């Protein structure tokens, strides 16, 4: 066979195979025009690529975040190399893991769930849940708001809305309401609900630590906002995690009602104002005591080491059990925060809060009006200012004052005189920071009434401290 014939036949066969294979691969066969099929295929491929891209760009199903606060208390004046009667160490000059928290959460439209655990070494190694929330929110397309009481910078300020502002607000605003059940921050005031990693100072004010120790409590909460209005209403156990008597538990069936109503808006460009009033009411718990038996006590009054039946033995009679009781407690407060953007430097934050309470101290001098036979009135306030020094540094100063018992009295030889039990703290802090880390130095100058001077009068027990904190977020 001549060569050209052989080549032609091979080309024919190849063309036939190719045509046949393509025809077999097409469905429907022969009758469909090739051009629309290709267009359809390209559209399909493009759609699949777009979906894959969207999947890649979408957040993980569960968002995980956290932070670590590692403190070095360089010195604290009240620190001693000694132990208490309960054999608790009195040394405070130490390295301490103040908090290491990890949080997992997922926003699923109408529902949002979150769980956060905390590890620390404040009183020895400890791991515990601090935040667990099951939330229903509406509208579903608005994201879960972590700080619904605060101003949202994505929201256009009132009176300056341009085209498309309504759409932007819908995407950026907090939900109209979120109903949450679980373990969450008590919605009272500004500082109690503020996250530890956002605060310019190391710890909250004495007032907040006494009235709402560690903030987290169990209950049900409704929180939300409309335009600049903000509201929160909670029904809580009334025994936060830092409660000195029944932490995280509720010894009585009565529940505490807590609320905050306020607003947050940008007045002008570079000037944001947030504020509100809060209230809390409920019943506290005075624990009864079990019955005791008669006791015989020996007091070696003549120090001879021998029991003298006639003078050194005394009977301490037993007592019947006493019932537990509950008592009324409440708090009202007001808070205000202003943010002013200064050229070159950055934001200047000014904040203040005042709380008047009755029988609500649960963390410092635990209120028990049944034991004291009178109500214990508390008054606390703080004022603070912090200034960003570009985005790399921040300095702040805060003064806080707390009086655990405004009616305290003391018996002196010839008169009963008022006793000032109040304590106050000047906190000076400076921080260097990046987007994910902070190094904070803070000096606290404290005044209290825990010591006595040579004349026997109450005076300040020296308790100043200087602390360094390393913080990393992830």
Partner 1 sequence: MRRAALALVMLVLAFVTLFACARTKSDEGRDAMIQVEGAQFFREPMPADERGPKVLTATLAARARAGYVEQACSGDLEPAATAIAIGLAGDVGYWIVPAGLPLASAPSAPTFEIVFGVSANVAPGRYDVVLRAVDASGRFGPSAVRPLDVAPAARPDGRLVISLSWDNQADLDLHVVLPSGIELFKRNRTEYQRPPPSAGPVPPNAPTDGGVLDRDSNAMCVPDGQRAENAVWTEAPPKGRYVVRVDTFSLCGAPSAHWRVEALLDGKRIGGAQGTSTEVDTRFEHNRGAGVLALELDVP
Mark 57-96 with x for binding to partner 1 (rule: CB under 8 A) and - for no binding. Answer: -----------------x--xxxx-x----x--x------
453 binds partner 1 (CB under 8 A): yes
**# of chain residues touching partner 1 (CB under 8 A):** 40
Taking CB under 8 A as the rule, does residue 460 contact partner 1?
A: yes
Is the torsion defined by CA of 136, 139, 141, 144 positive or negative? negative
Count of C-beta atoms within a 10 Å radius of residue 417:
12
Which of residues 121, 152, 245, 459 is near partner 1 by CB under 8 A? 459
Give the nearest distance from C-beta 196 to partner 1 in angstroms: 24
Q: How far is CA 216 from CA 10, 209, 236, 248, 263, in A?
A: 83, 11, 10, 8, 23
Per CB under 8 A, the segment of 20-28, 96-104, 393-401, 462-470 that binds partner 1 is 462-470
Among 5, 167, 414, 435, binds partner 1 (CB under 8 A): 414
> What SS3 state is found at 245?
coil
Nearer to partner 1, 337 or 446 (CB): 446
Using CB under 8 A as the binding rule, whether residue 300 contacts partner 1 is answered as yes
Quick one: 297 or 310, whose CB is closer to partner 1?
A: 297
- Write the interaction track for partner 1 spanning residues 190-209; mark x where CB under 8 A is met and - where it is not: --------------------
| 302: contact with partner 1 by CB under 8 A | yes
Of 4-12, 164-172, 284-292, 457-465, which part binds partner 1 (CB under 8 A)?
457-465
Closest distance of CB 422 from partner 1, Å? 16
- Distant-in-sequence, close-in-space partners of 404: CB < 8 Å, separation ≥ 6: 210, 361, 364, 365, 367, 376, 378, 421, 422
Closest distance to partner 1 from the beta carbon of 198 (Å): 24
Torsion of CA 471, 441, 446, 331, to 10 degrees: -40
Answer for the pair 294, 313: CB distance below 8 angstroms, yes or no: no
- Report the C-alpha gap between 201 and 438 in whole angstroms: 12
C-alpha 187, offset from chain centre: 10
Of 65-73, 232-240, 370-378, 450-458: span binding partner 1 (CB under 8 A): 450-458
How many C-beta atoms surround the C-beta of residue 70 within 10 A?
16
Among 126-134, 188-196, 199-207, 448-456, which window interacts with partner 1 (CB under 8 A)? 448-456
Closest CA to 380 of 219, 121, 227, 188: 188
DSSP string, 123-144: TBSEEEEEEEEEEEEESTTSPP
Between 81 and 198, CB nearer to partner 1: 81
Interstrand relation of 451-452 and 458-459 (parallel, antiparallel or unpaired): antiparallel
In the complex with partner 1, the residue whose CB is nearer, 36 or 456, is: 456
Stretch that binds partner 1, among 223-231, 248-256, 329-337, 441-449 (CB under 8 A): 441-449
Is 308 a binding residue for partner 1 by CB under 8 A? The answer is no
Residue 39 or 292: the one with the smaller Cβ distance to partner 1 is 292
The two structure tokens encoding residue 128 = 């515990």
Token pair in block for residue 115: 């769980």
CA angle 390–395–401, rounded 5-degree value? 150
Closest CA to 423 of 379, 470, 387, 456: 379
Nearer to partner 1, 330 or 443 (CB): 443
Give yes or no for residue 301 binding partner 1 (CB under 8 A). Answer: yes
138 near partner 1, rule: CB under 8 A: no
Q: What are phi and psi of 259, to 5 degrees?
A: -145, 160
CA dist., res. 63 & res. 469, Å (int): 26
What's the rounded Cα separation, in Å, for the pair 474 and 281?
37
Phi, then psi, of 211 in degrees rounded to 5 = -85, -35
269 binds partner 1 (CB under 8 A): no
Nearer to partner 1, 80 or 126 (CB): 80
Closest-CA residue to 397 (of 335, 442, 353) = 442
Residue 454 binding partner 1, by CB under 8 A: yes
- The DSSP code for 45 is H
Query: Binding to partner 1 (CB under 8 A): which residues in 392-411?
Result: 411
Q: Which is nearer to partner 1, 108 or 302 (by Cβ)?
A: 302
Choosing from 299, 345, 371, 434, the residue that interacts with partner 1 (CB under 8 A) is: 299
* Shorter beta-carbon distance to partner 1: residue 54 or 416: 416
> Binding to partner 1 by residue 464, rule CB under 8 A?
yes
Residues making contact with partner 1 (CB under 8 A): 74, 77-80, 82, 87, 90, 295, 297-305, 411-414, 428, 441, 443, 445, 451-457, 459-464, 466
């Amino acid at each position: 066979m001549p060569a050209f014939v052989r080549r032609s036949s091979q080309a024919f066969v190849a063309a036939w195979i190719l045509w046949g294979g393509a025809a077999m691969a097409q469905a429907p066969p022969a009758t469909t025009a090739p051009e629309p099929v290709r267009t359809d295929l390209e559209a399909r491929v493009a759609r699949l690529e777009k979906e894959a891209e969207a999947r890649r760009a979408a957040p993980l199903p569960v968002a995980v975040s956290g932070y670590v606060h590692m403190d070095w208390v360089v010195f604290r004046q009240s620190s001693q190399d000694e132990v208490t009667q309960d054999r608790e160490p009195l040394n405070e000059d130490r390295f301490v893991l103040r908090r290491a928290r990890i949080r997992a959460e997922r926003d699923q439209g109408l529902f949002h769930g979150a769980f956060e655990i905390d590890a620390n070494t404040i009183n020895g190694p400890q791991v515990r849940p601090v935040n667990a929330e099951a939330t229903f929110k509406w509208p579903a397309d608005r994201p879960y708001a972590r700080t619904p009481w605060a101003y949202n910078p994505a929201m256009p300020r009132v009176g300056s809305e341009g085209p498309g502002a309504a759409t932007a607000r819908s995407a950026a605003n907090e939900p109209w309401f979120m109903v949450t059940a679980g373990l969450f921050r008590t919605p009272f005031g500004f500082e109690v609900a503020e996250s530890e990693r956002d605060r310019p100072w190391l710890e909250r004010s004495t007032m907040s630590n006494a009235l709402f120790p560690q903030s987290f409590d169990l209950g049900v909460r409704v929180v939300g906002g409309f335009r600049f209005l903000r509201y929160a209403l909670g029904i809580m156990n009334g025994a936060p995690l830092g409660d000195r008597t029944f932490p995280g538990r509720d010894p009585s069936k009565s529940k505490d009602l807590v609320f905050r109503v306020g607003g947050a808006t940008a007045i002008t460009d570079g000037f944001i104002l947030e504020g509100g009033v809060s209230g809390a009411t409920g019943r506290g718990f005075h624990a009864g005591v079990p019955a005791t038996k008669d006791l015989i006590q020996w007091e070696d009054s003549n120090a001879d080491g021998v029991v003298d039946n006639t003078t050194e033995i005394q009977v301490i009679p037993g007592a019947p059990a006493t019932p537990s009781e509950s008592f009324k407690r409440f708090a009202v407060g007001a808070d205000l925060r202003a943010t002013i953007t200064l050229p070159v430097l950055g934001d200047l934050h000014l904040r203040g809060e005042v709380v008047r309470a009755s029988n609500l101290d649960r963390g410092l001098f635990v209120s028990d009006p049944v034991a004291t036979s009178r109500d214990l009135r508390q008054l606390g306030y703080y004022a603070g200012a912090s200034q960003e020094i570009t985005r790399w540094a921040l300095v702040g100063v805060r003064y806080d004052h707390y009086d655990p018992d405004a009616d305290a009295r003391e018996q002196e030889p010839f008169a009963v005189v008022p006793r000032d039990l109040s304590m106050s703290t000047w906190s000076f802090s400076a921080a260097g920071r990046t987007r994910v880390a902070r190094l904070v130095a803070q000096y606290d100058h404290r005044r209290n009434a825990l010591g006595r001077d040579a004349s026997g009068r109450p005076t300040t027990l020296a308790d100043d401290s200087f602390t360094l904190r390393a913080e990393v977020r992830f």
